[in-house]
Amino acid sequence: MAKTDALSILESAETKEKLAELDGKLIDAIQKEALSVRLKNTEYSGDPTTGSVVINRFKNSASAEYGTARKNGKGSQVSNNGKVTINLDVDREIIEEIENKDLKLFAVGGLAERRTANHSKRMAAELDRAFFTLAEKKAKAVTLGAGVTDIEDVIEAAIQQVEKTENDWVDGVDRSDLEMTLSVSAYGKLRKYVDRIDGGVGAEEAALFHGVRVYSNTRQKADVIVMRHGSIGQPVSIDDYGAERIGLSNASAIELFYSYGTEAVTPDLIAKIDSLPAATATASE
């Protein structure tokens, strides 16, 4: 009788409605807690649920003498040889079991609601670590000049390395397009120099430093990472919450499946300092 009752609970309209409601709450929570969500590139074409997306990177246009296109009978072709395909090739699952006797105390939807907060935190941590691990791998190390040890000068050097970038795709980067993430210790030193400090959700934020957005980040190993917004893409596909009986048992499972991929779109616009100089000082030191 207990098994029949449990099956009825799993298949009830109330349970299905509650699980559908939690899908939205899960996504909202991840967006608030994952720093990578704020920084990643979302200008892709394609549907993540199909397994891959494409992010285009076009070369800069070049001017020509008036009449050149008329003479040649055509204009310059748009170059898209910086196109990046991101495969959602990391498949993950969170499956938690509950004995059916406990369903009398915690309905499936109620248990899932209790666990959604934890699921979102674990997913946010995983996405962040994948994002910043790749950022550090692709970043170009900042070379500091002799005697550059004050924290504001060290950070400024990292900013300028990205800001001054010139190549076929980039002709310098506006500071308003840059973002900087710092280890907890590096953030502590820079904090005295920021213009203002805000409390963030999931990461404390020193809102601006010399026109660049700054975030404290517990999920990176490098002391300093500077990148243009959208330098890394990380599409995520999350399946709806599910619940089902576990065969040959008197238990049920709450199931969450998701997939993601992480790729650098503009690796030339990522810089890092693995460790601050040993003599790095703040204003009061």
pLDDT single digits (tens) 258-275 = 999 999 999 999 999 999
Which alpha helices (DSSP H) does the chain contain, by range?
A: 2-11, 13-33, 35-39, 68-72, 108-138, 151-163, 184-190
pLDDT in tens, 138-192: 999 999 998 899 999 999 999 999 999 999 889 999 999 999 999 999 998 888 6
CA–CA gap between residue 250 and residue 3 (Å, rounded): 7
pLDDT score for 75: 45
Range in 66-70, 132-136, 223-227, 241-245 with the lowest mean pLDDT:
66-70
User: Is the separation of the CB atoms in 183 and 217 below 8 Å?
Assistant: yes
Residue, of 215 and 11, whose pLDDT is higher:
215
Mean of the pLDDT values across residues 271-285? 78
pLDDT band at 241 (very low <50, low <70, confident <90, very high): confident
CA–CA gap between residue 11 and residue 179 (Å, rounded): 47
pLDDT in tens, 12-36: 767 777 778 888 899 999 999 999 9
For 164-190, give one letter per residue: b (16+ CB within 10 A) or e: ebeeebbeebeeebbbbbbbeebbebb
Mean of the pLDDT values across residues 83-99? 92
CB-based burial label for 198 (10 Å; 0-12, 13-18, 19+): exposed
Q: Quote the tokens at residue 179.
A: 């973002």
In sequence order, what are the residues at sequence separation of 6 or more whose Cβ sits closer than 8 angstroms to the Cβ of residue 137? none
Which of 107-116, 217-226, 253-262, 272-281 is modeled with the greatest confidence?
A: 217-226
pLDDT in tens, 96-134: 888 877 776 666 667 777 788 899 999 999 999 999 999
pLDDT score for 6: 58
Q: What is the mean pLDDT of the chain?
A: 83
pLDDT score for 196: 43
pLDDT score for 3: 47
CA–CA gap between residue 89 and residue 91 (Å, rounded): 6
pLDDT score for 114: 79
Q: What is the pTM of this model?
A: 0.84
